[in-house]
Amino acid sequence: MRYRSKLDPIVSIVLLLPIANAIFRLVSFHLASSIIDQGSLIFIFIYGIVLSLIYFGIFYEIKDDELVVSNLFIKTRMPIASIKLIKKSKNFLAAPALSLDRIKIVSDEKWVLISPVKKEELIKQLKRINPLIDLQL
């Protein structure tokens, strides 16, 4: 099953500020000189594509007894049998998560921060596969 990343309003605002600024520049430049600022238009188009890639490129999937964390073009695989701990986190570290309402998943050799929309459902599914996972929520 595939789980999307939760999107915080604060993260949304931070990601949308550059586009809002470019739109403001585009409109104000057009009103002042009735010419369209092509640089702002190109920026809005390219940044819109990047935002779409970020939003649709971050997801979490349980596949063949593995947790697969997709971050754009990078996939991190974690065997569910090796997961030892799932705990709540508000860590600001860069992570494949669009929210600060995160969970930290710790396995034998690595850990990952994620922010699934259906957090409880994902945890239940992981626990069903590996009942030895320690929960600290």
pLDDT at 104 over 80: yes
Residues 69-92: pLDDT tens digits?
A: 999 889 999 999 999 999 998 887
Q: How far apart are CA 64 and CA 21, in angstroms?
A: 44
pLDDT at res. 58: 92
Mean pLDDT of 104-118: 93
Residues 33-77: pLDDT tens digits?
A: 877 778 878 888 898 898 888 888 999 999 989 999 999 889 999
What percent of the chain has pLDDT above 70? 100
